[in-house]
Amino acid sequence: MQLIDLAGNQLSGSVPASFGNIKAMTQVQNHNNYHLYGGLNGYYAENFVVTAKNQHLEFTKSLSLVVSLDLSGNNLNGDLPGEITNLLGLVFLNLSRNHISGHIPESISRLTQLSSLDLSHNKFSGAIPQILGSLSFLGYLNLSDNDFTGKIPYNDQMITFSASSYVGNHGLCGSPLDVKCPGDEDDDDTDNDRPFTRIIVMVVAS
């Protein structure tokens, strides 16, 4: 089972830690298997629509490479279990529009295949892990409308995301937001207060 879409239901409770045991999702998919089926009404190909990167993406010929978990638009709460990061093959993870709280586990760095991560409209708190920058395939990130605090890590892959990835977190500061972090103002003031040294060079013609 590589594709789970339970979005837009009324699921409640916490995200099951047992999801971390889904064998097909714990493995990185390296081989593409395209299936074309024949029947009385002709041929048809397998396809699946994934809601990711803020749009609907349809996969057909590359479907076997897609590993997706979509639990968005439910009433899930509690902390995100660290076992989710056992799903090493995950390409799309969408947990948006729930009531999930707690911190993003540092072990999320294990999800090296992750292309899209949407945790928006939840109750996540604490600092955004610096280690997110190591996810070199991550092309879409949405952490908006949570309770994250502290300075946004602006390193490696994280420099590719705009302010829209972080809006609605009133405790966040730093680039790409137009909100300075405590201490940044002091650095600016220190630069302005530094004494100016004028060097005069005299050239005497002979």
Decide if 35 is inside a domain. Answer: yes
What's the whole-number mean pLDDT along residues 157-174?
Answer: 95
Least confident of 49-53, 138-142, 197-201: 197-201
Residue 37 confidence (pLDDT): 46
Instruction: Assign residue 59 the CATH number of its domain.
Output: 3.80.10.10
CA 49/CA 60 separation, integer angstroms: 9
Q: How confident is the model at residue 27 (pLDDT cuts 50, 70, 90)?
A: confident
State the distance between the two ends of the chain, measured CA to CA, in whole angstroms.
88
Decide if 199 is inside a domain. Answer: no
Q: Are 115 and 89 in contact (CB under 8 A)?
A: no
Structure tokens at 68: 């997706």
Number of residues assigned to the chain: 206
Q: Which residue has the higher pLDDT, 58 or 175?
A: 175
Q: How confident is the model at residue 53 (pLDDT cuts 50, 70, 90)?
A: low
Decide if 201 is inside a domain. Answer: no
Decide if 135 is inside a domain. Answer: yes
Does residue 197 carry a pLDDT above 60?
A: no
Decide if 97 is inside a domain. Answer: yes
Contacts of 94 (CB under 8 A, 6+ apart): 7, 51, 52, 68, 69, 70, 71, 72, 116, 118
Q: Are 82 and 105 in contact (CB under 8 A)?
A: yes
CA angle (110 as vertex; 119, 32 as ends), nearest 5: 90
What sign does the dihedral 134-174-78-118 (CA atoms) show?
negative
Range of the domain at 57: 3-193
| Residues 117/17/20/90 CA torsion (nearest 10 deg) | -10
Decide if 204 is inside a domain. Answer: no
Residue 118 phi/psi, 5-degree rounding, is: -125, 105
Largest CA distance in the chain: 103
Give the three-state DSSP class for 136.
coil
Contacts of 153 (CB under 8 A, 6+ apart): 128, 129, 130, 132, 133
Decide if 206 is inside a domain. Answer: no
pLDDT tens-digit readout, 111-164: 999 999 999 999 999 999 999 999 999 999 999 999 999 999 988 999 999 999
Q: Are 1 and 25 in contact (CB under 8 A)?
A: yes
CA 53/CA 69 separation, integer angstroms: 13
Count of the separate structural domains present in the chain: 1
Decide if 203 is inside a domain. Answer: no
Percent of the chain with pLDDT over 90: 63
